């Protein structure tokens, strides 16, 4: 399954924060604000493409990735309500998925664990064995699909299907594979009533694309077969963008918390609020002056 990090109690969080040095990324005076807030069971938060290196001072394209992730964490902690869950959608690590990358990532996300449970999925710059080793006491590896991490969790207004498109570490293309797509098909068939939101790292491949999802046609066929699928949330391209697919499924391209591929594109995180017949996705840019900061995309679900 994608690694589930359960929410920590106040006592356990403060203990771990002291041991891990989480105060370096989050002011201790703000710890109190992490506790006591109400939870909105229909709010979900997405971080994507963190690209955290073992050396927290490392920069890429003049961006310090660790500082950006820490800023996203602080903004989430300041949000007036707690989300139901936080999903980190792949490329947790800088390039090769080194053990040190995950150690630094783990320190940076400690405050999030006082806010909500977290689901961590894999991208093309992650490495499974190092990832599994990084959090040995927090979750077990379930073998629903060999060498892939998959999971389903349910909320009041949607079922969430978390997939694993990591194929070969540090190469662009991704692939779900036959076994994972068969698993997804079965799980969707078993849950026909509630809207389904699928989360994976790679974008759908357009004709001629060479760094996207290699088995896009087989994946899209599942959209067509299961009308309860309403949205596909992905990252990988470092570009905030929302558009409808020809099937009627909404495609939500998450922004990166780290560095943009193209100058001027926003870095930040996304808030999702589920309604009974749709959802809204809001960009929270780290640059509050960015023209797309606080942009809300209100989506209506296609007919089942």
CA atoms within 13 A of residue 222's CA, in its CB half-sphere:
25
Give pLDDT, residue 204. Answer: 97
Give pLDDT, residue 141. Answer: 52
Per DSSP, what are the bridge partners of residue 40?
Answer: 83
Strands 196-199 and 229-234: parallel
Give pLDDT, residue 28. Answer: 46
Give pLDDT, residue 149. Answer: 85
Below-70 pLDDT ranges, the chain = 1-2, 17, 19-33, 137-144, 208
Residue 216 CA to residue 289 CA, distance in Å, equals 36
Residue 44 CA to residue 51 CA, distance in Å, equals 21
For residue 177, the 8-state DSSP code is -
Give pLDDT, residue 154. Answer: 97
Give pLDDT, residue 2. Answer: 59
Query: What CATH topology corresponds to 3-300?
Result: Purple Acid Phosphatase; chain A, domain 2 (3.60.21)
Give pLDDT, residue 109. Answer: 93
Residue 154 CA to residue 47 CA, distance in Å, equals 19
C-alpha distances (whole Å) from 126 to each of 222, 240, 283 are 26, 21, 25
Give pLDDT, residue 23. Answer: 46
- The residues spanned by each domain of the chain are 3-300
């Amino acid at each position: 399954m994608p690694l589930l990090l359960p929410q920590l109690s106040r006592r356990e969080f403060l203990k771990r924060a002291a041991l891990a040095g989480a105060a370096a990324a989050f002011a201790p005076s703000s710890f109190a604000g992490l506790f006591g807030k109400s939870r909105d069971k229909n709010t979900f938060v997405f971080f994507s493409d963190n690209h955290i290196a073992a050396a927290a001072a490392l920069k890429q394209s003049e961006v310090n990735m660790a500082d950006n992730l820490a800023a996203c964490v602080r903004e989430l902690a300041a949000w007036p309500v707690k989300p139901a869950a936080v999903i980190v959608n792949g490329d947790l690590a800088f390039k090769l998925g080194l053990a040190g990358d995950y150690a630094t990532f783990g320190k940076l996300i400690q405050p999030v664990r006082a806010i909500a449970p977290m689901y961590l999925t894999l991208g093309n710059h992650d490495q499974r064995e190092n990832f599994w080793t990084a959090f040995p006491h927090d979750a077990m590896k379930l073998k629903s699909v060999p060498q892939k991490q998959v999971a389903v969790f349910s909320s009041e207004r949607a079922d969430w299907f978390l997939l694993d498109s990591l194929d070969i570490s540090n190469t662009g293309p991704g692939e779900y594979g036959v076994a994972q797509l068969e698993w997804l098909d079965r799980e969707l068939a078993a849950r026909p009533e509630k809207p389904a939101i699928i989360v994976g790292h790679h974008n759908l491949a357009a004709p001629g694309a060479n760094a996207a999802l290699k088995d896009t046609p087989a994946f899209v066929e599942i959209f067509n077969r299961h009308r309860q699928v309403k949205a596909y949330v992905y990252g990988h391209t470092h570009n905030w963008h929302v558009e409808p697919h020809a099937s009627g499924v909404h495609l939500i391209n998450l922004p990166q918390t780290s560095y943009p591929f193209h100058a001027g594109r926003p870095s930040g995180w996304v808030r999702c609020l589920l309604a009974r017949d749709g959802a809204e996705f809001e960009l929270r840019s780290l640059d509050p002056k960015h023209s797309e900061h606080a942009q809300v995309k209100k989506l209506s679900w296609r007919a089942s």
